[in-house]
Amino acid sequence: MIRIALAASAAALAALPAQAATGPFFSLGNTNFVVLLAFILFLAILVYFKVPGLLMKMLDKRATTIRSELDEARALREEAQTVLAEFERKQKDVQDQAQRIVAQARTDAEDAARQAKADLEASITRRMATAEEQIASAEASAVREVRNRAIEVATAAAARVLKERMTGERQNRLIDESIGTVEAKLH
């Protein structure tokens, strides 16, 4: 490549503008003819050093590289589409599974709420029954205490009344009548 550039430079220097003149076309004095000769010489040098073949080889190599890169890119694109389709399928599966889990959780929560409500009602019923039993027991105890107290008060009042009304003579007569009743019943 360097030789080609040096040859082209030498040809250009040989045709200085001061030497160019108008005249017949096929003379070194004509600038157009000198430029044509330099261009033909340049092309001859390129052909001699097989530059077109080298350029073709480089272009073919570059085309092969580009083709292989395109094939690789196409393969990567197909692989990416496959992976994308797989991820979309997995995402759909995960969404379906999440919906099933949410539905199951709702069902479980509703069941738990129903069970808790039933347990609460049973607990309230048991507590109400226990409270009613305690109230009935307290009521019966209070009634017994009132009766016992009434009996004590009545007995004390009766004893006081009898004590005040009973005289010695009357006491003796009641004792005699009681003994007589007992004798009659025993015989």
* 1 pLDDT higher than 80: no
What average pLDDT does the chain have? 85
State which residues form the domain around 8: 1-49
Q: What is the Cα–Cα distance from 40 to 46, expressed in whole angstroms?
A: 10
For 147, the token pair is 């009766």
Eight-state DSSP code of residue 166: -
130-168 pLDDT tens trace: 999 999 998 888 888 888 888 888 888 877 777 777 777
- Predicted local distance difference test score (pLDDT) of residue 9: 55
Tell me: pLDDT of 5 over 60. Answer: no
Q: Please check whether residue 25 lies inside any domain of the structure.
A: yes
Query: What domain count does the chain have?
Result: 2
Kindly report, residue by residue over 101-139, the tens digit of the pLDDT.
999 999 999 999 999 999 999 999 999 999 999 999 988
Q: DSSP string spanning 11-50?
A: HHHHS-TTT--SS-TTSTT-HHHHHHHHHHHHHHHHHHTT
Question: Does residue 57 lie in a domain region?
Answer: no
Q: Is the pTM of this model over 0.85?
A: no
Residues 75 and 28 both lie in one domain: no
pLDDT of 12 strictly over 70: no
Does residue 34 sit within a domain? yes
Q: Look at residue 11 and tell me whether its pLDDT is greater than 80.
A: no
Q: Which two tokens stand for residue 37?
A: 């000769």
Task: Tell me the C-alpha distance between 42 and 187, whole Å.
Answer: 177
Q: Indicate whether 129 and 78 sit together in one domain.
A: yes
